[in-house]
Amino acid sequence: MTPPTRALPRILRGSLLRFRHDPFAHGPFSGAAEEALDIEPDGLLLIENGKIAQIGPYGVLRPTLPPDLPEDDHSGCLIGPGFIDAHVHYPQLRAVASYGEQLLTWLTRYIFPEETRFSDPAYAAEVARIFLDQLLSTGTTTAAVYCTVHPESVEAFFAESARRNTRMIAGKVLMDRNAPDALCDTAQTGYDQSRLLIDRWHGTGRQLYAVTPRFAPTSTPEQLRLAGILLDETPGLYMQTHLLETQTEEAWVRRLFPDRSGYLDVYAHAGLVRPRAIFGHGVHLSGHDRHHCHDARCAIAHCPRSNLFLGSGNFDLFAALDPGRPVRVALGSDVGAGDSLSILRVMNEAYKVAHARGNRLHPAQSYWLATTGAACALELSGVIGELAPGIEADLCVLDPAATPLSAERVSRAESWNDVLFALTMLGDDRHVRATYVAGTRAA
């Protein structure tokens, strides 16, 4: 595999968006969120060898740097970390916005037939290319990605990601029951194929592997047990699956696993509840579940657009982030049911879902969940998700005035928090001026 070309040193100019502290640090109703944002109105980022080398006021740093360095001027725009999508299915891209079903019938009617096509390497490669094009166009630079049961789908995705030098987390779906025959492996073949893919891709360049049981109903206890063994065998692996998305699904799990105390306990019994475990949705978490997730340092991917689209319920974000025992939370687009890859659109719905539950999600908190907080949830703090020297230069440049309506709105903004809130309400891919991957402009 040809290593990616190393980018030349480059200067970016614009308004730099950082955090002074975690906006959830002192609880949802404190003043911590209001003071969390740290904006450098006219800032400079120096990018060298794919990482941020220097950061600070443009007027102070620019005279200290060689005058012939190339410079991308994004004055009037916000430069921040690239968005992080904690839960997305790339094979669902062409089934997006499929009409009128809830989770289990939606899977059977739309998603499983589409996923059978990914045994074809050419088809998988084509969708992987389109998916990553679309992802980068929305400012997302890292995602936790579900492939299909076919190893070909994983090879295609990682090959395309490696070509672009994006930092991605992905894995082969494990399903050995309750799915079409064309989408089923066995407990042993799922283990064997995953083992080969881990050896080939985990830690290759910027690629990271996730052991990926689709969800408990489509895996036997033996398959889940072997998934836990895979995690024990290779340090630094991720685990991703679905948890408590709907009450119908929860009842099904209880029938399939009568010896377990609940849905989360099914995964815990197999050794899957641990750091770097990402549980999609978690809509119907109990207080006991939240305590368990806190103690285990695993993460919940909050997917409000998908939950609304499928009528799954409203995730209680502020219960999960209770400062007494906070659970790590990031945002996920989900894509097929989420109906958009734009994390800005996900932030929009996260605000509305929180508001419907009697809470106000501050724009700094929403942006945190999509960037710095997401990096923490995925055990990638110090690697991505913030603007600081030594961090990989995956960046998203947002134009708050990209459309006539948003331009009119931000012209009357009273603070940077107000600008950011307008972006979360009105923003989409049109507001992404540029996306940088390891310091190279990718969109």
CB-CB neighbours of 411 under 10 Å: 9
User: pLDDT tens for residues 152-173?
Assistant: 999 999 999 999 999 999 999 9
- The confidence score (pLDDT) of residue 105 equals 87
Q: Is the pLDDT of residue 27 over 70?
A: no
pLDDT band with cut points at 50, 70 and 90 for residue 6 = low
Average pLDDT of the residues in 46-65 = 98
pTM: 0.97
- The confidence score (pLDDT) of residue 30 equals 55
Looking at per-residue pLDDT, the higher value among 337 and 187 belongs to 187
User: pLDDT tens for residues 222-249?
Assistant: 999 999 999 999 999 999 999 999 999 9
- The confidence score (pLDDT) of residue 147 equals 98
* Whole-angstrom distance, CA of residue 407 vs CA of residue 345: 18
**% of the chain surpassing 70 pLDDT:** 97
User: pLDDT tens for residues 426-442?
Assistant: 999 999 999 999 999 99
pLDDT band with cut points at 50, 70 and 90 for residue 7 = low
Average pLDDT of the residues in 367-392 = 98
- The confidence score (pLDDT) of residue 99 equals 82
Tokens 């990031």 found at: 330
- The confidence score (pLDDT) of residue 255 equals 98
Q: Is the pLDDT of residue 91 over 60?
A: yes
With beta carbons less than 8 A apart as the criterion, state whether 374 and 144 touch. Answer: no
Contacts with 276 (C-beta within 8 Å, 6 or more apart), sequence order? 236, 237, 238, 239, 298, 378, 379
With beta carbons less than 8 A apart as the criterion, state whether 301 and 279 touch. Answer: yes
- The confidence score (pLDDT) of residue 289 equals 98
The string of DSSP letters for 363-416 reads HHHHHHHHTHHHHHHTT-TTTSSS-STTSB--EEEE-TTSSHHHHHHHTT--SH
Burial of 41 (0-12, 13-18, 19+ CB in 10 A): exposed
102, 160, 113, 120: which is closest to 136 by C-alpha? Answer: 160
Cα 34–38–41 angle (5° rounding)? 120
**Superfamily name with CATH number, domain 10-81+385-441:** Urease, subunit C, domain 1 (2.30.40.10)
Q: Is the pLDDT of residue 28 over 60?
A: no
Token pair belonging to 361? 């999600």
Q: Is the pLDDT of residue 29 over 70?
A: no
CATH of region 83-341: 3.20.20.140
Average pLDDT of the residues in 43-54 = 98
User: pLDDT tens for residues 271-294?
Assistant: 999 999 999 999 999 999 999 999
* Whole-angstrom distance, CA of residue 393 vs CA of residue 72: 14
Domain ranges across the chain: 10-81+385-441, 83-341
- The confidence score (pLDDT) of residue 106 equals 85
**% of the chain surpassing 90 pLDDT:** 91
What single-letter amino acid sits at 75? Answer: S
